[in-house]
Amino acid sequence: MYNSSDLRKGLKIEIDNQPWAVTEFDFCKPGKGQALYRCKLKNMITGTTMDKTYRASDKIGKPVLEERECIYSYEDGESFIFSDDKTYEEIYVKSEILGNNVNFLIENAECKILLFNDDPIDVTLPIFIEKVIKETEPGVKGDTATNVVKPATLENGYEIQVPLFVNEGDLVKIDTRTGAYVERVSKA
């Protein structure tokens, strides 16, 4: 268990069998009274947020969280299967946990999986991945400006904004945190 005095921004706590992250924190102590620890919390599974105030005497649950280094292997139609880097144990992750990250999975990518009571709740992908552009309007030769963009589609149907000079078949680098184009790696 945690004490209220352990609370700080970034701490992960457990309430009613759910893991919550403290996203904002303030200590307050009105009029010589008992201390209050005011938190904004974010549910680490659903993403919902709430405000909660703890008193000095409160005890707070400590979630069993584990982060494991994994390699992405394959998809079986229901789940995405990763294998533990050290033990080779297979970890099954549902697509709703991956969210938008589904679009940036690449075989053998080194990922981090966060487990809560042994269940995967979050997957962190490599910051940059490379994908081939499947469809886009033909490039404008010589136009190297990067601030004018056009839509393009990846093989998996994900749509991304790219500069005008990018063509179908080009390999581009994508930032998985934002889902945005970073640069062209090689031409088709």
Burial of 12 (0-12, 13-18, 19+ CB in 10 A): middle
The answer to whether the beta carbons of residues 101 and 111 sit under 8 Å apart is no
- Site membership for another protein, residue 28 (CB under 8 A): yes
Chosen residue from 1, 5, 90, 117 binding another protein by CB under 8 A: 5
30 contributes a contact to another protein by CB under 8 A: yes
Is residue 10 part of the contact set for another protein (CB under 8 A)?
no
> Can you tell me which of 1, 23, 27, 50 binds another protein, judged by CB under 8 A?
27
Between 49 and 161, whose beta carbon lies closer to another protein? 49
Report, in angstroms and rounded to the nearest whole number, the Rg of the chain calculated over CA atoms: 22
User: C-beta of 56: minimal distance to another protein in Å?
Assistant: 7
Q: Which stretch binds another protein (CB under 8 A): 48-56, 71-79, 108-116, 168-176?
A: 48-56
Sequence-ordered strand ranges (E) for the chain: 2-3, 12-15, 18-28, 36-43, 49-55, 59-60, 65-75, 79-84, 90-94, 110-116, 119-124, 128-136, 149-154, 159-163, 171-175, 180-186
Of residues 26 and 110, the one with the C-beta less far from another protein: 26
Q: Cβ closer to another protein: 33 or 99?
A: 33
Note the residues at the interface with another protein (CB under 8 A): 5, 26-36, 38, 53, 55-57
